[in-house]
A and B are shown apart, each in its own frame.
Chain A
Amino acid sequence: MERFLRGVFTLVLLASICPQLIAQNQTISGKVVDATDGTSLIGVTIMVKGSGQGASTDIDGNYRINASNTDVLVFSYIGYKTVEIPVGGQSTIDLKMESEVSELEEVMVVGYGTLRKREITGSITKIGGDELQNVQAPSFEAALQGKAAGVQVIQGSGLAGSGSVIRIRGIGSISAGGDPLYVVDGIPITQSQFTNVSRNGGAMNTNPLATLNPNDIASIEILKDAAAAGIYGSRGSNGVILITTKRASSKGNSFNFSSKAGISEPVAKAKMLNSEQYLQLYQEAWENDGNVGRATLPGGMTWEEIERRNIDTDWWDQNVQTGFKQEYNFSWTRGGEKLKTYFGISYSDNESYLVGNSYDRASARLNADYILSTQTKLSSSLSYSRGNNERVNAAWSGGLGDAMSTALPIYPIYNDDGTFWVQSGVPNSVRQRALTDWNTVDTRIIGNLNISHSLPNGINLRGGGSYDYFKSNDDKWEAGELVGRNDIIGQAYANITEVDNYNANLTADYTFKAGAGNLKVLVGSEYQQSVRSAVTGKGVTDVSEQLRFDPIVGENGETFGGTPLQDEVTKFISFFSRFNYNVRNKYFFQATLRTDGSSKFGPDNRFGFFPTVGFSWFASEEDFLQSVDAISLLKFKINYGITGNSDFGANEFIGTYQRQGPPDQNGYGFNPILYPTKLPNPDLKWETTSNFDIGFEAGFFNDRIIVEFDYFRKLTSDVLAQIALPPQNGIDNSVFENVGEISNNGFEVSVSTVNISNGDFEWATNFNISQYKNKIESIGNFSEEAVSGGTNDTRVIVGQPVGTNFLVRFSHVDPQSGRPVYLDIDGNETFDWDPKDRVAVGNVLPDFTGGITNTFTYKSWNFSFLFVFTKGGDIYDSSSKRQLGVVTTWNMREDIFDRWRQPGDIATYPRLTLDTETYGSGTPWINTDLWLHDGSYIRLRNVSLTYNLPQVIDLVKSASVTFSATNLLTFTNFIGLDPEIARDFEDPTDRNMSSNITFLTPPQERTFNLGININF
């Protein structure tokens, strides 16, 4: 090969030199290398300006060319800045060529290092920090919505600080986490919503990511396929989100100040019945059941009392406010000869539209880079943040949830004398709020220190350590009278969760010529240890309110009922390498190998091996396309690899027993008891996903149009499922098992165009869409009932997607009797509802998701708006079975107006009744596909208008004012509040399977913000 190449180069050289011989000019020679790493550049074109004569570099970067003293040599090379050098009598001209900062030469963070975009063989989407900062979101990850193909973001509820659900290229998990791995400046951070022992307390998805300050983020790289995420081995299957924080890059001092203020309101209001409507309908149900006279009302209310006091409480209004938001960021970037620093502080306070609910965050960051010597560099990051979440109850836990359920309009807030109205078993959310103090304070420190050293032989060594500390302090205090105890002042609860997460890694990389190209080899090892400790406690106080603010530790350091939970320790060790082979900047090969060992895996499966290979080809650099002017870029890529998912709890594989007994605990017959609590599973291991990706990237008309396309096939095997063993096994704890297979096949397209570029005016569009088909291929020998989605009626059904709605089919309302008619399993009509007749009727996964951003720039004005869309995917409106079903102690929605009232009526909803048997069931809450709705929607997610102020004083380098709004418009056929739903999840299975199930979930917020940004 090498000889062949030498031959080719010699020929090319001779061909270009020959005419020059006739002109009898002098010979100039030299060597061309890469300015950054000093490697020889092969095939650089050297032309004598204004003539047709040229030469190119050989395999060692050397060239010879004939030119006269007055000539100018033009050096050009793909991906590098073209350089012109006058000969001026020199006979040797060596050149260090610098990379061109074109899109293709953009540096991408790829895990344990960086690569130029050109070198990448996998699928990576890079999103700049400024793109996130322009979107008002409860947490930074929510702002990724609609920005990247194949990345589905379901924003959390309207609760301040609540988390989003992110799925990259589908979902291949049942009980292991389905979210991507988040890596901040090299450390995989504590991210799970289930980290906090309070879990979904208050019906909120707590979110450790909310502590991260979006304003610190310089860029986010989303690694989507095997070639990209494979370097993360057993943790790469769900994709990886790499977060790089801001650092100083230029010299001198610069400062930035930005601030935002805004308001929040719900995107929709639930249409609940008012007092008059409720009474009328309740009476109708009463009479339908054959009762006479006025109905006995719930909650001990009487018709007379309601009439006398004219009670008509709008509980929604009692729980909703206009929230106020404010945010301040200041940063100072300083670049010196040796030391470069970035320092930033931020404060934001985000009230949601729920009365009493807010998330405020204070954070500081110091990132520094220090050049110790030409060979040795140090870099460090340190950030501290504190998020204070003022909590309220929502959904099933109270507050706005009550307003949509058990808080009836016929209930008053206060008694005649102004005291709170109290009735056993009936909520009063105003009283609940007044007598509850609840906040969750999350503290987070992320720090790292890295040292890199270049050996004279060209090997670069890099070592580093990172520390990620997370503490969540969840404190709740409820007045004695609220918990029904008048003998105490109050009751305090605390959930304290702490995670110490360390990581150390060592890598070496070396780039050398190998054959026709350059080979860059990276080898490394990493160790990570994460220790999660937790205490939960409850204290009762009868003397003072001392416990109100610290229930675990009293004034004198005494503890109150704190129960330390078992520490959860995870250890992780890895060895990895990456090979990047670049032939003439045209052909790129990559292979990654990773071995992961984890303490989570059973003893029979301690280590796993995860290899990937990828190849990309720049067809547009080939001669046959060089002449096609319309095509400015054409790149093909293909890759395959194995990744894993090991996002499940520590110690799942061990079998355990517990002993308890007198005198302090319950035993039996005064003797201790010893019993099995969990069955062992020594074979437990990670999920394995085989990923195949093929795609292209094409640029037309000087990259005015860029199209990216990827087709992917993923097959996950050994799917981790938390199996509820059949009860006959006689052990209550479910076990983790590797069962079955799930496939995800689909494609992604993104198109960015500059539609108009006309001097002062530019219009650009970014569009992306992705589609995937998800299918459970097998669940081994387990029953479909054994793996269920939390409390929600989604199931794991072979041949169907993850999160299949498995329901009895509702047929119609019988026009004669007004009773609901169901279909039995064979499709025959029946009045009896029996869960045996459940069939797969829908699923929560969408068919298509995507986003489109249009940006208009005119002189100093910039206007952009982002639409996100979801097509397909069913929403199960779980609360409507109570709001529109058998009349119970729940308020009803106005949709109930379309109900059966007399024989002959054709109606959507059956006759009103208080008797469950009317609906053919013994229980009043009947799951059928009547509550299943199409979840498609288009949402105007973000609109922003920016004006860049003219420079008036020298001190200010630039300044801008931005007005933005989120969730302005939503187009959907869904009859509920909000078609974008991430209800509160009980566990990872629930999170994977039940995203589109709503149960009184607070809708998202609509915000309006005004911000300024000043650089000086």
Chain B
Amino acid sequence: MKKIKTIFFIVTITFSCSLLETDIPTTEILEEEAIKTKKDLQDLLNSAYDVVANYNNGLSQRLSELLSDNIASGFTDAAGFFNEIYNRNTNLFNSEVGNYYKEPYFAIHRANTLLEKVDEINLDEDSRNQIIAEARFIRAISHFNLVNLMAHPPGFTNDNSHLGIAVRTFTGSEPVTRSTVDETYDAIIKDLRFAEENLPESNGVYATSYAAQGYLSKVYFMEQNYDSAIYYASQIIDPGSPFSLVVNNINARYSQNITSEHIFYTLSTGAFDNRAGVLIGSYRSDVNEPFLKVSQELYDLANVNASDERAEWFEEQTREDGSVFYVTTKFNSNFQNVALIHMVDMLLTRAESLAILGTDLDQARADLNQVRNRAGVANISPISTQEQIIEAIRNERRLEMSLEGDRIMQLNRRGASGEDIQIRGANWDCPGSALQFPATEGFPGFVFNESGGC
């Protein structure tokens, strides 16, 4: 039998190999021929930025806000997936979570592809380090985005041994199990540190050392490592950096422009792309009744202070049947850029960190006042107490960064620090407050989140 088989093989292979050549699809590039030059690497990197822009077009922010206290109940949701998120009982088949969840991993996969291919291309040392730094930056911020939604925050357990996310550092198809939150944050910080050291100070629309510092500040802030949060925020705020708050324009960040307060952002050109598509699609209020309406609490917050210009960000609207709802005007535009690291965030992060530590309340007040003054709100009392400052900063933060996906992170951080945080009637740390992973992630050994209980 073996002999016959051998004869068959010899005959076949001799006569027919040439007939079976693969016809390569012309619209696609074969894997082994795709990355051959520096330009190819740059285009690959650019595709990773592209995905970062995609999941920050509102996809991630919307999930985050639905979990918080900024959104009003009673949105029309035939399929019920948003309802599940809002009620914090997502299950394995929540398509909205599924649609979001894969996106940051696209960016991570592309970053890892680049890291694995970079040594196949001849590059000078600086170019090589920068391109690696950018890839690691993208990997870090994508992991960070995921861990904020899919896992409970640092401090949920004392040693952060609770489960975080699958940290992916290679491209192979072997799946990896979830790291602990401790390990996840370590991996993120390691990547951001490398990025900080190897990225240039200016880099067009792409990541800079400042962008890495901004993220480090946010990451440490979430870890309640306030000293480090202050340190990195200061790198951006303090004189010497090119960034500053745009005075007299509360809308600087929500526009088609890039301003001095944009530290890292995703760019919409209006041609073929709209990097804020989901934000606009969910909240835009000047055409139809938007899909997502804001909570009255948030609306009221903008109207506490009569001089607060940010009241214009919210409107009360009335339906034909007389019922009333509240909307935001922040995203009433055909396209706009999305600021991911910006001056307001850095100022308020530093202010709150300082206030919590109680080390420099004057600086905390000054940082806060910068943001308040820009919106036409008077300074906080110079004799305000630590507690009053903290409360003021938090309200400021909620209002300024409303609907941008920040609120739930702050509530979670505060809950993890020991505050009694209730979000729409449920404990901040109820099981379902971390989104459920999609069913397709469930390879043997993967541990899903606990569901319900909120």
Partner-B contacts on A (CB < 8 A)? 527, 566-567, 569, 571, 573, 575, 593, 595, 597-599, 606-607, 609, 611, 650-651, 654-659, 661-662, 665-680, 724-732, 735, 781-786, 788, 832, 834-836, 888-889, 916-917, 921-925
Which residues of B sit under 8 angstroms from A674, Cβ to Cβ?
29, 34-35, 40, 43-44, 46-47
CA distance A673 to B267 in the complex (A): 14
With A599-B21, A730-B105, A786-B440 as known contacts, state yes or no: A916 contacts B49, CB within 8 Å: no
**Is A657 within 8 A of B81, CB to CB?**
no
**Is A832 within 8 A of B101, CB to CB?**
no
Interface string of B18-38 (1 = CB under 8 A from A): 011111111111111011000
Interface string of B217-230 (1 = CB under 8 A from A): 00000000000000
Which residues of B sit under 8 angstroms from A651, Cβ to Cβ?
22-25
CB distance from B352 to the nearest CB of A (A): 32
Which residues of B sit under 8 angstroms from A566, Cβ to Cβ?
25-28
**Is B175 within 8 A of A729, CB to CB?**
yes
**Is B31 within 8 A of A655, CB to CB?**
yes
With A656-B29, A657-B31, A658-B29 as known contacts, state yes or no: A835 contacts B443, CB within 8 Å: no
Which residues of B sit under 8 angstroms from A654, Cβ to Cβ?
22, 24, 30-31
Tell yes or no: B17 within 8 A of A by CB. Answer: yes
Q: CB < 8 Å: which of A611, A670, A671, A675 contacts B110?
A: A675
**Is B108 within 8 A of A726, CB to CB?**
no
Which residues of A sit under 8 angstroms from B443, Cβ to Cβ?
726, 781-783, 786
Of A595, A661, A925, which is in contact with the most chain B CB atoms at under 10 Å from its CB?
A595
CB distance from B2 to the nearest CB of A (A): 10
CA distance A921 to B451 in the complex (A): 12
Of A672, A680, A729, which is in contact with the most chain B CB atoms at under 10 Å from its CB?
A729
Q: CB < 8 Å: which of B87, B106, B176, B204 contacts A731?
A: B106
**Is B84 within 8 A of A922, CB to CB?**
yes
CB distance from B375 to the nearest CB of A (A): 30
Which residues of B sit under 8 angstroms from A726, Cβ to Cβ?
166, 175, 440-443, 446
CA distance A665 to B273 in the complex (A): 9
Tell yes or no: B93 within 8 A of A by CB. Answer: yes
**Is A731 within 8 A of B109, CB to CB?**
yes
**Is B19 within 8 A of A527, CB to CB?**
yes
Known pairs A666-B273, A785-B442 / 4 extra A-B pairs, C-beta < 8 Å = A527-B19, A730-B109, A835-B93, A925-B80
Tell yes or no: B249 within 8 A of A by CB. Answer: no
Q: CB < 8 Å: which of B15, B110, B204, B269 contacts A676?
A: B110
Q: Which residue of A lies closest to B443 (CB)?
A: A783
Interface string of B29-65 (1 = CB under 8 A from A): 1111011000010111011111001000000000000
Q: CB < 8 Å: which of B47, B91, B173 contacts A836?
A: B91
CB distance from B193 to the nearest CB of A (A): 23
Within 84-118 of B, Cβ neighbours of A (below 8 Å) are at 84, 87, 89-93, 98, 101-102, 105-110, 112-113
Tell yes or no: B8 within 8 A of A by CB. Answer: yes
CA distance A55 to B105 in the complex (A): 85
Which residues of A sit under 8 angstroms from B49, Cβ to Cβ?
668-669
Tell yes or no: B425 within 8 A of A by CB. Answer: no
Which residues of B sit under 8 angstroms from A668, Cβ to Cβ?
46-47, 49-50, 53, 267, 273
Within 326-384 of B, Cβ neighbours of A (below 8 Å) are at none
CB distance from A296 to the nearest CB of B (A): 9
CA distance A458 to B113 in the complex (A): 63
Which residues of A sit under 8 angstroms from B109, Cβ to Cβ?
676, 729-731
Which residues of A sit under 8 angstroms from B28, Cβ to Cβ?
566, 656-658, 677
Which residues of A sit under 8 angstroms from B98, Cβ to Cβ?
727
Tell yes or no: B304 within 8 A of A by CB. Answer: no
CA distance A669 to B78 in the complex (A): 36
**Is B12 within 8 A of A597, CB to CB?**
yes
- A-B contacts, 20 of them at CB < 8 A, read A567-B23, A573-B12, A609-B5, A654-B22, A656-B28, A662-B272, A668-B267, A673-B50, A675-B47, A725-B173, A726-B446, A728-B176, A735-B173, A783-B440, A783-B442, A785-B442, A788-B440, A889-B78, A922-B80, A925-B79
CA distance A657 to B30 in the complex (A): 6
Q: Which residue of B lies closest to A529 (CB)?
A: B19
CB distance from A134 to the nearest CB of B (A): 44
**Is A923 within 8 A of B79, CB to CB?**
yes
Which residues of B sit under 8 angstroms from A662, Cβ to Cβ?
271-272
CA distance A668 to B273 in the complex (A): 9
Total chain B interface residues with beta-carbon distance under 8 A: 85
Q: Which residue of A lies closest to B113 (CB)?
A: A676
CB distance from B238 to the nearest CB of A (A): 28
Partner-A contacts on B (CB < 8 A)? 1, 4-5, 8-9, 11-13, 15-17, 19-32, 34-35, 40, 42-44, 46-50, 53, 78-81, 83-84, 87, 89-93, 98, 101-102, 105-110, 112-113, 166, 168, 171, 173, 175-176, 204-206, 267, 269, 271-273, 438-444, 446, 448, 451-452
Q: CB < 8 Å: which of B35, B80, B106, B108 contacts A732?
A: B106
CA distance A917 to B332 in the complex (A): 33
CA distance A571 to B16 in the complex (A): 10
With A669-B267, A782-B443 as known contacts, state yes or no: A607 contacts B13, CB within 8 Å: yes
Which residues of A sit under 8 angstroms from B90, Cβ to Cβ?
922
Q: Which residue of A lies closest to B104 (CB)?
A: A730
Which residues of A sit under 8 angstroms from B451, Cβ to Cβ?
834, 836
Which residues of A sit under 8 angstroms from B439, Cβ to Cβ?
785, 835
CB distance from B438 to the nearest CB of A (A): 6
Q: CB < 8 Å: which of A661, A730, A922 contacts B87?
A: A922
CB distance from A297 to the nearest CB of B (A): 14
Which residues of A sit under 8 angstroms from B21, Cβ to Cβ?
571, 599
With A668-B46, A673-B46, A677-B28 as known contacts, state yes or no: A835 contacts B22, CB within 8 Å: no
CA distance A784 to B439 in the complex (A): 9
Which residues of A sit under 8 angstroms from B32, Cβ to Cβ?
655
**Is A679 within 8 A of B173, CB to CB?**
yes
CB distance from B199 to the nearest CB of A (A): 16
Q: Which residue of B lies closest to A672 (CB)?
A: B43
**Is A727 within 8 A of B34, CB to CB?**
no
**Is A923 within 8 A of B81, CB to CB?**
yes
Which residues of A sit under 8 angstroms from B175, Cβ to Cβ?
725-726, 728-729
Q: Which residue of A lies closest to B87 (CB)?
A: A922
CB distance from B119 to the nearest CB of A (A): 18
Which residues of B sit under 8 angstroms from A732, Cβ to Cβ?
102, 106
CA distance A782 to B79 in the complex (A): 29
CB distance from A920 to the nearest CB of B (A): 10
Q: Which residue of B lies closest to A675 (CB)?
A: B47
**Is B173 within 8 A of A730, CB to CB?**
no
CB distance from A837 to the nearest CB of B (A): 10
**Is B452 within 8 A of A832, CB to CB?**
yes
Which residues of A sit under 8 angstroms from B106, Cβ to Cβ?
730-732
Which residues of B sit under 8 angstroms from A680, Cβ to Cβ?
31
Which residues of B sit under 8 angstroms from A781, Cβ to Cβ?
443-444
**Is A727 within 8 A of B101, CB to CB?**
yes
CA distance A657 to B43 in the complex (A): 11
Q: Which residue of B lies closest to A732 (CB)?
A: B102
Which residues of B sit under 8 angstroms from A609, Cβ to Cβ?
5, 8-9
CA distance A673 to B438 in the complex (A): 28
Q: CB < 8 Å: which of A611, A670, A727, A730 contacts B441?
A: A727
**Is A730 within 8 A of B440, CB to CB?**
no
CA distance A271 to B454 in the complex (A): 40
Which residues of A sit under 8 angstroms from B4, Cβ to Cβ?
593, 611
**Is A670 within 8 A of B31, CB to CB?**
no
CA distance A854 to B30 in the complex (A): 60
With A680-B31, A836-B451 as known contacts, state yes or no: A729 contacts B105, CB within 8 Å: yes
CA distance A371 to B331 in the complex (A): 82
Q: Which residue of A lies closest to B26 (CB)?
A: A566
**Is B92 within 8 A of A836, CB to CB?**
yes
Q: Which residue of B lies closest to A729 (CB)?
A: B173
CA distance A568 to B288 in the complex (A): 45
**Is B47 within 8 A of A599, CB to CB?**
no
**Is A573 within 8 A of B438, CB to CB?**
no
CA distance A727 to B102 in the complex (A): 5
Of B40, B47, B49, which is in contact with the most chain A CB atoms at under 10 Å from its CB?
B47
